Structure 1
Amino acid sequence: MTNFNNNNTAIVITDPQNEFLKPVGKGFGLTKDILDKYQTIENLVTLVREATKKGYKVFISAHFFYPHDHNWQFGGAGEQMMLSEGMFARKSQFEPIEAGSGADFIDELKPFLDDIIITSPHKIFGPESNDLYLQLRKNGINKVIMAGMNANLCVESHTRALVENGFELFVANDAIGAPGQAAYDAATTNLGYVTSGVKPTADLISEL
């Protein structure tokens, strides 16, 4: 039995946005089979709902690109793909997120957003460019349960970075998605070595 408590443990979700989770998103075609197989959205929402009921803090590390980000002079293949396809795009830093866009949060999570801490956006895959570390430490968190998208990129990058920065990590393996089974399997294998546990959502909730 894991020693979770709501004083030092939190849920962190990467990219719970339409881009990879809903048909409107440009990445949905890559992930839809895995989302269906593992019931990713249902488990993600259940994790948030039950953790919130039990007094656990939830953090979202979202992905946003603004017009000025398209002026970057170099980047990796995944980064270039997202920029060229207009993924996670927002028209302005100052205007609200366009409702129903790929950058928008999935509707199922919107009832909980007022109680969730949303960090500044991460820009590529990991949390090195946002304030997730600061927000977690200021809230007394040293143990994290990860969920979200995509398992082989942002989830894994966030997990590795948090572990290297002294946090203890767990992953809800049916509350994550990926662009295909091979990517999912590779990520969960790696996460099994990096973290203190990769478990189904129901098991993690029972331990909260």
Structure 2
Amino acid sequence: MQLEKKRTAVVFADLQNEFLVKSGSYYPIIADKLKELNVFDNIEELLRCAKENDYHVIHSPHYYYPTDLQWVAPNNAISDYLVNLPTGFVGRKDPVDLEAFHGSGADYPERLKRYLMDGKTANTSPHKGLSCLSNDLIKQLRMRRIEKVIMAGPVGNLCLENHMRDLLEAGFEIAMVRDAIAAGQNEEGDAYQAAMVNFRFMSNALWTTEDTVKRMKAAAAVDKQ
């Protein structure tokens, strides 16, 4: 996979307190892998590089509103479990109301707000469940004439993998950043390893953060010539 700056975007899913901050309800599930791979630092390094080299950055957040609790049809196992936690999960009062949003699980980590709220990053409408087919991520990419996507995020085997699958089916070329991705474990095994196996089979590239940053800088340099 060869990057072309004008046709490349960096896409993240779930850069929210619920996943990346110790107080988050999902954080304990992926804490070991977050620490082992320095995922938070690597995500920030990708954001920093993207901003310094003027790449498009698009973030797909995960929100639920009180009206989503009206759902009676099954969603998926992990989402059904999380949405019904007593503490809630990536919850917001309303799409146009930010009451109690600041510092909540749905909010962005403070150290990432400078990148995600700079007026240039496109924070999409929320994805409900795992897939980006329920939000406007693909439209945001298409309207920028993007063809190549670099992807990372804390929940590699669920939201991030489903986003990747959706984008692949829509015709995008995808590079996954393996150490800017986390996942948990259950009695069936290691979800991070499962995600890496699937990424190796399906994505067009599987890079480290260091390699990705080098490639982004090189493509940006070519673009300036």
Common topology (TM > 0.5):
yes
In the alignment, structure 1 segments of 5+ residues that lack a partner are: none
Identity %: 38
The residue type paired with residue 87 of structure 1 is: F
- Alignment partners' CA distance in 2, 1:74 and 1:15: 24
> Which residue of 2 is the match for residue 34 of structure 1?
33
Are 2:143 and 1:147 equivalent residues in the alignment? Answer: no
Q: CA deviation at 1:71?
A: 0.6
Q: How does 1:37-116 map to 2 (within 5 A)?
A: 37-75=36-74, 76-85=76-85, 86-96=88-98, 98-113=101-116, 114=118, 115-116=120-121
Partner SS state of residue 59, structure 2 = strand
Could you report, residue by residue, the CA deviation over 1:113-138 in whole angstroms, capped at 9, with x for unpaired residues?
22211111100101101000100000
RMSD: 1.2
In the alignment, structure 2 segments of 5+ residues that lack a partner are: 217-225
Alpha carbons 2:151, 2:175 under 8 Å: kept: yes
Are 2:45 and 1:21 equivalent residues in the alignment? Answer: no
Q: CA deviation at 1:74?
A: 2.0
The residue type paired with residue 153 of structure 2 is: G
- Alignment partners' CA distance in 2, 1:5 and 1:47: 16
- Alignment partners' CA distance in 1, 2:33 and 2:154: 11
- Alignment partners' CA distance in 2, 1:178 and 1:106: 18
The residue type paired with residue 71 of structure 1 is: Q
Q: CA deviation at 1:149?
A: 2.5
- Alignment partners' CA distance in 2, 1:151 and 1:163: 16
Alpha carbons 1:24, 1:101 under 8 Å: kept: no
Alpha carbons 2:34, 2:154 under 8 Å: kept: no
TM-score by length of 2: 0.89
- From 161, 167, 170, the equivalent of 1:162 is 167
- Alignment partners' CA distance in 1, 2:91 and 2:184: 20
Deviating above 4 A after TM superposition, structure 1's stretches of 4 or more consecutive aligned residues are none
- Alignment partners' CA distance in 2, 1:116 and 1:108: 15
Higher Rg: 2
TM-score by length of 1: 0.96
